[in-house]
Structures are given as structure tokens and as C-alpha cells.
Amino acid sequence: MKKKQPFLIAEIAQAHNGSIEKAHEYIEAVATTGVHAIKFQTHIADAESSIHEPFRIKMNTRDKTRFDYWKRMEFSLAQWKELKAHCDEVDLEFMSSPFSNAAVDLLEEVGVKRYKVGSGEVTNFLLLQKIALTKKPIILSSGMSSFEELDKTVSFLKAHQVSFSILQCTTSYPTTPENYGLNVIQELKERYKVPVGYSDHSATIETGIAAISLGAEILEFHVKLNNLETGPDASSSLTIDEAKVLVKSLGSVSTIQYPSVDKNDNSQFVELKNIFEKSLAVNKNLKAGSLLTFYDLEAKKPKGYGINASQFQEVLGKRLSRDKNQWDFLTLEDILF
């Protein structure tokens, strides 16, 4: 029997580079990995940004401003519905993070089961209020938030009776090992008493495995089609082939973690114990009447051909009832009690 499988989300973000065709290509590729959901980001430039927004990282694109970049990342309502339908066809849950109230309205028309709130929106109570009104669950990424800020957000969500989970996340692309913050997974569980997961930007398989082993119930990680991709999150992403390895490995981790071994019951090993455990023997030629000492004894396989090796102390100081040759098993009949 296995432990409950973690909920696995493959993050696309802007890896499609504004191409609806490439977005569909990502859906087809992600469907082969075994994850449960694929997550996009829904950007409506006029509603969320301005010409004053700086680039997170300067990209070699035709976009003069970050606003221009978000504009190019937009899909129409009809296109979002196409992507959702495609996800349904390949048995992937369609998810997309909204970055404006207008994006929530759009996603409600598209039809989503839950909302993922990005790290930069944790203190955006306007957006959280908008999502709360949908009555749908929230997955909250905590990347840039202190506990003080998270406390306020958690109180807000609880006051609005929103079902939510929290992801430990470090907003760094790619994240280096000293900044993974896997220790925070248990801190979040103890502090908020809600499901906790991990949002990974490390581009390594082992980070996700470690996160699940340490109690993460949700794992989100960025993916790219291959190592030729050059998008803003490419350096933080697993390839599709790496994602397949991760998902397969996590299935093994879930099995490994299930408490299935009872050390009080070793009945299944009876046959093996008889093969591997040992019987007492003598390590030299000994005459009848010889007084047995520790230095006369050896233990030899298999068990059951002499006195059990575990009982050697019971024969110390006893005399032999008959001659024994070197390496003969030592039986009860050989001992004068």
C-alpha cells in the first residue's frame, strides 16, 4: 500500500513565449510526464502593469518595456478556452495564476477548479478578495513573504472561509541549495495547520524528491521542452524528460514512506533466518571430557545443525560427552549438563 501521492503541477509560465501553438505543444508534452496539472499564467497587461514596471531580468526581445512583454504574453478568452479544452482531452487539470482581478474574471469564464496565487500577490488583498468571492480553493506561494506577512494573509483567507494551502518557495531563478528553504515546510505545517507544498525553481530532480520526503503534499516545478529553450524561466526548469524521471521517482518515494514494516513480526523471514543464521561448532579437535571455552567455538551456517550460536554462553564451562573433530557442529548430545 502506498502513501497518498503528492499533487504535482508542471509550471509553464511564459515558456510559450506568447505563441498559442507552443502553448498547445507544451500541453501535449506535459501530458506524457504523469503530473496532475499544468499551470500557465494569465496576464492582462492593461489591468496589471504599466510602462513603469522594470524587467525582472533583461531579455533579448523586441519588447521595449515589461508592459510590452506582458502584452505579448496575452491570450484571448477564446484561446484560453482552447487550452483548457486541450488539457481536458489529455487528462490534465488546467491551472493558471491570475495577476489581476480582470484575469480572475477571465479564468472564471474559462473554468478553473482552483487558483494558484503567485509570490508577488500574497499581500494583494484586492486580488485575494476577488478570488475569495469565487469560493474556490487557493494554492498560495510564499516566496517573497515573511511570516508576519503570511500571518496577515492567512488571517484574511480564514476570515473569508477560503480553503487554501501554502507552498514554500524561494523567489530566485534558479534557486541554489543554500536557499531552498526545505526546513520551512514543517514550519509552515506547524504554524498554519494547512496542507503545505513546495514550489521549485532549482532545475534539479533531487530537490523535488527531497521536498516530498520532508512532507510536501504539493510539488510545483517549471518545465521546458528541451535545453534549447531560452525563456526567462528556462534556467530554473526541468526538461520534459527530467520531469518524467522526477514523477517516476516520486512514485517510489510514496511507496518507501508508507509505514508497512512491523519490526515486531519477522515471521516472513523464517526460511531466510534458517539459511543465514548459524549453529555452534568446534574450531579444533577436542577429546571427550574437554572443558569448553570461548576459544574452542565457531559459528557456522546453517541454523539448526547444532546449538544456536546465540546460546553459546550456555555451553561455556561444560564438558564434552564424546570426541569432536575440528569444524564439527556442536549439539546438545555432545554436552554433559
**Domain map of the chain by residue range?**
7-257, 267-336
Least confident of 113-122, 163-172, 327-336: 163-172
Instruction: Please report the pLDDT score of residue 88 as a whole number.
Output: 98
Q: How confident is the model at residue 255 (pLDDT cuts 50, 70, 90)?
A: low
Instruction: Please report the pLDDT score of residue 268 as a whole number.
Output: 81
Looking at domain 267-336, its CATH class is alpha beta
Least confident of 109-118, 214-223, 260-269, 307-316: 260-269
Compute the average pLDDT of residues 161-188. 84
Compute the average pLDDT of residues 234-251. 92
Q: What is the largest CA-CA distance in the chain?
A: 103
Q: d(Cα 24, Cα 39) in Å, to the nearest integer?
A: 12
**Which three cell numbers, joined as nine digits, stand for 172?**
530566485
Is the pLDDT higher at 40 or at 256? 40
Is the pLDDT assigned to residue 70 strictly greater than 50?
yes
Compute the average pLDDT of residues 72-88. 97
Instruction: Please report the pLDDT score of residue 259 as a whole number.
Output: 62
Q: d(Cα 88, Cα 71) in Å, to the nearest integer?
A: 27
Distance of CA 64 to the CA centre of its chain: 39
Q: d(Cα 279, Cα 303) in Å, to the nearest integer?
A: 5
Instruction: Please report the pLDDT score of residue 127 as a whole number.
Output: 97
Distance of CA 67 to the CA centre of its chain: 35
Compute the average pLDDT of residues 16-40. 97
Is the pLDDT assigned to residue 258 strictly greater than 70?
no
Q: How confident is the model at residue 181 (pLDDT cuts 50, 70, 90)?
A: confident
Is the pLDDT assigned to residue 104 strictly greater than 80?
yes
Residue whose C-alpha cell is 571430557? 289
- The 10 Å Cβ neighbour count of residue 337 is 8
Instruction: Please report the pLDDT score of residue 271 as a whole number.
Output: 86
From the list 249, 237, 242, the residue with the least C-alpha distance to 11 is 237
First to last CA, the chain: 51
- The 10 Å Cβ neighbour count of residue 104 is 20
Is the pLDDT assigned to residue 4 strictly greater than 80?
no
**Which three cell numbers, joined as nine digits, stand for 175?**
534557486
Is the pLDDT assigned to residue 233 strictly greater than 50?
yes
Predicted confidence (pLDDT) per residue in 270-322, tens digit: 888 888 899 999 999 999 999 999 999 999 999 999 999 999 999 999 999 99
Is the pLDDT assigned to residue 60 strictly greater than 80?
no
Compute the average pLDDT of residues 109-114. 98
pTM: 0.80
Compute the average pLDDT of residues 242-264. 79
In order of 75, 82, 153, 179, 228, the CA distances from 141 in angstroms are: 24, 27, 11, 15, 28
Instruction: Please give the mean pLDDT across all residues of the chain.
Output: 91
Instruction: Please report the pLDDT score of residue 1 as a whole number.
Output: 43
- The CATH T-level fold of domain 7-257 is TIM Barrel (3.20.20)
Instruction: Please report the pLDDT score of residue 156 as a whole number.
Output: 97
